Amino acid sequence: MGSIEAVSRSAQYTFSKPSEGVIRLIAGLGVEGDAHYGEKVRHRSRMARTPDAPNLRQVHLVHAELFEELAGRGFAVAPGQIGENVTTRGVDLLGLPTGTLLQLGPEAVVEVTGLRNPCVQLDGFQPGLMKAVLDRDDDGGLVRKAGIMGVVVTGGEIRPGDEIRVTLPDGPHRKLEPV
């Protein structure tokens, strides 16, 4: 079990999202009042290519432990600053399989759809940050550390301090891929 450290949203297409005291998740749509809210794809680069694709990126989650790792490398990153809606603590987000259910707070449930694929906007925020959120595993495979994406299965309000409960899908598990 983990916890929510911060919640963030922005009605505009901004790289960073201001932290809020509470956000509301709406089933099938995402974070109410966020620019990425909707049933169909809402990320600008993807809307131009496939406007009718389902929105598999309704909620962006990042583990607070990443910020601590980055601080050790000279970067100062706070919750919401790399565009996430939910900053978590105590859950190995990157190790979860596709289809994991995350109960956020007493009601909301998010189904994990995949990894966030880091983009060059990270370097616009802080030079060198994109490289810092990429790594290689023991087999030389690319490891993306900039968070995970999900869709809202059950809506509800979430706030800092809320618990996170993890329900893994039935096996075999599928490793997260970029969405």
Residue 51: left (phi > 0), alpha (psi -120 to 50), or beta? Answer: alpha
Give the confidence band of 4 by pLDDT, cuts at 50, 70, 90. Answer: very high
The answer, yes or no, to whether residue 26 has pLDDT greater than 90, is: yes
Q: Who's near 43: CB < 8 A, 6+ residues apart?
A: 36, 57
Asked if residue 46 has pLDDT above 90, the reply is: no
Q: What is the mean pLDDT of the chain?
A: 96
At 99 the pLDDT is: 98
Q: In the structure, what pLDDT confidence band is assigned to residue 45 with cuts at 50, 70 and 90? A: confident
Does 47 score more than 90 pLDDT? Answer: no
Task: Provide the pLDDT for residue 174.
Answer: 96
Q: What are the structure tokens assigned to 21, written together?
A: 């005291």
Distance CA 67, CA 50 (A): 32
Q: For residue 143, which amino acid is it?
A: V
Buried-exposed string 17-48: b where 16+ CB fall within 10 A, e elsewhere? bebbeebbbbeebbbeebbbbbeebbbeebee
Q: What is the DSSP string of 138-152?
A: TTS-EEE-S-EEEEE
| Nearest residue to 78 (alpha-carbon basis) of 143, 16, 3, 9 | 16
pLDDT, tens digit (0-9, with 9 covering 90-100), for 115-168: 999 989 999 999 999 999 999 999 999 999 999 999 999 999 999 999 999 999
pLDDT of residue 51: 87
Predicted local distance difference test score (pLDDT) of residue 3: 98
Joined tokens for residue 88: 């978590």
Does the pLDDT value for residue 171 go beyond 90?
no
Res. 72: pLDDT tops 90 = yes
Helix ranges restricted to H, the chain: 44-49, 64-71, 121-125, 129-132
CB 20 within 8 A of CB 7: yes
Token code pair at residue 146? 């900039």
Calpha distance 4→118 (Å, rounded):
22
CATH of 2-167, one of 2.60.40.10, 2.40.33.20, 3.40.50.150, 2.60.120.10: 2.40.33.20
Residue 84 in this model has a pLDDT that exceeds 90: yes
